[in-house]
Amino acid sequence: MFRMNYEEFEVLSQIFKFMLRFFSCLLFLIFHCI
């Protein structure tokens, strides 16, 4: 259970980092265009 939850946490953290990077680039492009 603990290892399974830990693996799920790792996957969620990677997805969160990817989304954060994507949104940061998107916001940068929006502000740059404005």
pTM of the predicted model as reported, rounded to 2 decimal places: 0.58
Q: What is the mean pLDDT of residues 15-24?
A: 96
Per-residue three-class SS string for the chain = CHHHHHHHHHHHHHHHHHHHHHHHHHHHHHHHHC
- The pLDDT of residue 7 is 83
For residue 3, is pLDDT > 90?
Answer: no
- The pLDDT of residue 8 is 86
Domain ranges of the chain: 1-34
